[in-house]
Chains A and B, each alone.
Chain A
Amino acid sequence: MLAALGLESVDDLFADIPSDLRASALDLPPPEPELELSARLREMAGRNRTDLVSFLGAGVYRHWTPPTVDQLLLRGEWYTAYTPYQPEVSQGTLQSIYEYESLIAELVDMDVVSASHYDGAAATAEAALMTCRATRRDRVLVSRGVHPQYRETLRTYMHGLELEEIPLIADGDAAGTTDLEALERLLADADRPVAGVIAANPDFLGLLEPMQRIAELTHAAGGLFIAVIEPVSLAVLTPPGAYGADIAAGEGQPLGIAPQYGGPYLGILASTDALVRQIPGRLVGMTTDLDGKRAFVMTLRAREQDIRRDKAASNICTNQALLALAASIYLATIGPHGLRDVAANGAARATELEAGLAAIGVERLHPGPYLNEFAIRVEDARTIHRRLIERGFLAGLVLADAEPDDPTLADALLLATTELTTPGDIARFVAALQEVLSGRPPVGVESGAGTERAENPVGSAR
């Protein structure tokens, strides 16, 4: 074929691409025998600390997963990431997507759910672009209470559009929640009308936001309101559909998906019926076939990229079908009462943790209401965090690492509890923290030992 094209080598095919834009040769080590490589990878994997008692949340939460979830996912019929290109022959796949959409729609109390997105950050960014398309405006406001990694993803997706941050209240009863007066000022700029406003409930610091008020202010300015949600919390908190959100976006990981560094995760995206033609991702509907039998079909497909090309609602999104299925099996297995128990138990553990910490003089950083996650004030948080790892505890997130520009978060740890947190875990953690704060060395650990482990990656919020 090269001869027919009058070329000497395959490289000549790429002559039009400047050399600095071409992929350089991969810097790979020499090959190794399989047994040696397996042993080395096992040794590396062994350095992961899976033994820690974890209080880490920050957007990703440990939950008990019924064994049905992983067992059913392993079935060959499901074990493909993609929706088939001739979808209607795969009625089972379509039914599973339809059930996912139905379950999530009930959870968020909204009309339309798309299946699905890479993760909560990607879903939030797609939501921001939806508001720009729907309003024909190009300015989006995001609360600093939204996860910092979501805000980073938003900055990427919003390139060429305008993205502004709404500050959090620095002190007082509402400290750590969205500054509504600042929001009103940003919305009042008549020359630069706002397409959408994004706020999270609970926010990144675990606090509950005045979502209804933010929705009202946004709508009064002609904008659309995006609620960033955590799905388990919706078993006990007001769902976004009930407080006037136009779009709900969030991370589906807590629904039966194990925390893992870097994903894969599940982006939830839902909207009102009015925005159905703006929502990217697959939509599956239920109908009847020629024989009057129940059938599942792709709907509104004409907006997708295989048909609309550059004018598609999104050319970035993909369906995380297997993980959407995991979420569906999880929800179907534990049911509405089970989900309420999961959310309520996590919240109950958090109040126990707060009380335990208060007893040793460690205070919350913010006074407002929370669900299952809150920040505490700890001097030299990074060192304390490291010393607790030496004692077998993952003391949540060092907030200064996540929000280095926020001086109010300089000496703080963000702690989360779930139904997997036991009262014993809390008692031992509080005791260990007290020891560390009083400067005593850990029992049974010699000076210097454990330091190397402590510097290894221990898993983290994505």
Chain B
Amino acid sequence: MSAPTDLRYTRDHEWVRVAGDEATVGITQYAADQLGDIVFVELPDEGRDLEEAKAFGVVESVKAVSDLFAPLTGTVTSINGALAANPELVNSDPYGDGWMIKIAVSDTSEVDDLLDGPAYDDLVAAG
């Protein structure tokens, strides 16, 4: 199972889809599989300023609760409201309907620090 090559990744298993200065963020298939059945996703309010590598939310499965880390510095422009009622979307479609937040990115050069698909696959393979 390879990570999509059109996305960028953090070492904490978040993915980012960058379009101009807007970034969409979620967690990877690998992360969702590791967590198991996700029962709750706690997301920030729109308008909140995020700092790269700082926690912005929490994902809770039946067996664990994990922080979500911001891949990029920026401001939250929208959140995926569907996850409130259907958190299992993160398991079933992590790169699509299971997206979590959109960020107006402050400094697009930070994108260069993120992993690409093959590099993320290497990270997962290395365990």
Most buried by A among B40, B60, B65: B65
Q: How far is the CB of A332 from chain B (nearest CB, A)?
A: 32
Give the CA-CA distance A157 to B64 in the complex, in Å.
26
Shortest Cβ distance from B55 into A: residue: A311
Give the CA-CA distance A311 to B40 in the complex, in Å.
16
Contact of B61 among A277, A302, A308, A311 (CB under 8 A): A302
Give the CA-CA distance A307 to B65 in the complex, in Å.
8
Residue pair B42, A302 in contact (C-beta under 8 Å): no
Give the CA-CA distance A271 to B61 in the complex, in Å.
22
Chain A contacts for B62, CB-based, 8 A: 302
A144 at the interface (CB under 8 A from B): no
Residue pair A277, B64 in contact (C-beta under 8 Å): no
Give the CA-CA distance A308 to B42 in the complex, in Å.
15
List B residues 38-82 near A (Cβ within 8 Å): 40, 42, 60-65, 67
Chain B contacts for A385, CB-based, 8 A: none
Shortest Cβ distance from B40 into A: residue: A277
Give the CA-CA distance A277 to B63 in the complex, in Å.
15
Chain B contacts for A139, CB-based, 8 A: none
A63 at the interface (CB under 8 A from B): no
Chain B contacts for A308, CB-based, 8 A: 65
A349 at the interface (CB under 8 A from B): no
A302-B67 contact in complex given A277-B40, A277-B42, C-beta closer than 8 Å: no
Chain A contacts for B42, CB-based, 8 A: 277
Contact of A303 among B63, B65, B67 (CB under 8 A): B65
Shortest Cβ distance from A302 into B: residue: B65
Encoded as 1 (CB less than 8 Å from any B CB) or 0, chain A from 53 to 84 comes to 00000000000000000000000000000000
Chain A contacts for B40, CB-based, 8 A: 277
Q: How far is the CB of A88 from chain B (nearest CB, A)?
A: 13
Shortest Cβ distance from B60 into A: residue: A302
Q: How far is the CB of A109 from chain B (nearest CB, A)?
A: 25
Chain B contacts for A311, CB-based, 8 A: 65, 67
Chain A contacts for B61, CB-based, 8 A: 302
Shortest Cβ distance from B61 into A: residue: A302
Chain A contacts for B60, CB-based, 8 A: 277, 302-303
Chain B contacts for A277, CB-based, 8 A: 40, 42, 60
Q: How far is the CB of B107 from chain A (nearest CB, A)?
A: 24
Chain A contacts for B63, CB-based, 8 A: 302, 307
Give the CA-CA distance A302 to B37 in the complex, in Å.
13
Encoded as 1 (CB less than 8 Å from any B CB) or 0, chain A from 298 to 329 comes to 00001100011001000000000000000000
List A residues 273-303 near B (Cβ within 8 Å): 277, 302-303
Give the CA-CA distance A302 to B65 in the complex, in Å.
6
Give the CA-CA distance A302 to B66 in the complex, in Å.
9
Encoded as 1 (CB less than 8 Å from any B CB) or 0, chain A from 239 to 277 comes to 000000000000000000000000000000000000001
Give the CA-CA distance A99 to B75 in the complex, in Å.
45
Chain B contacts for A302, CB-based, 8 A: 60-65
Chain B contacts for A307, CB-based, 8 A: 63-65
Shortest Cβ distance from B64 into A: residue: A302
Give the CA-CA distance A303 to B42 in the complex, in Å.
13
Give the CA-CA distance A172 to B67 in the complex, in Å.
52
Shortest Cβ distance from A313 into B: residue: B65
Most buried by A among B40, B42, B61, B62: B40
Give the CA-CA distance A277 to B43 in the complex, in Å.
13
Shortest Cβ distance from B44 into A: residue: A136
Give the CA-CA distance A308 to B61 in the complex, in Å.
12
Q: How far is the CB of B40 from chain A (nearest CB, A)?
A: 7
Q: How far is the CB of A186 from chain B (nearest CB, A)?
A: 24
Q: Add 15 more A-B contacts to A277-B60, A311-B67 (CB < 8 A).
A: A277-B40, A277-B42, A302-B60, A302-B61, A302-B62, A302-B63, A302-B64, A302-B65, A303-B60, A303-B65, A307-B63, A307-B64, A307-B65, A308-B65, A311-B65
User: Which residues of B does A touch, CB under 8 Å?
Assistant: 40, 42, 60-65, 67
User: Which residues of A does B touch, CB under 8 Å?
Assistant: 277, 302-303, 307-308, 311
Subset of 17 A-B contacts with CB under 8 Å: A277-B40, A277-B42, A277-B60, A302-B60, A302-B61, A302-B62, A302-B63, A302-B64, A302-B65, A303-B60, A303-B65, A307-B63, A307-B64, A307-B65, A308-B65, A311-B65, A311-B67
Complex A-B, nearest 10 residue pairs according to Cβ-Cβ distance, in ascending order: A302-B65, A308-B65, A302-B60, A302-B64, A303-B65, A307-B64, A302-B63, A277-B40, A307-B65, A277-B42
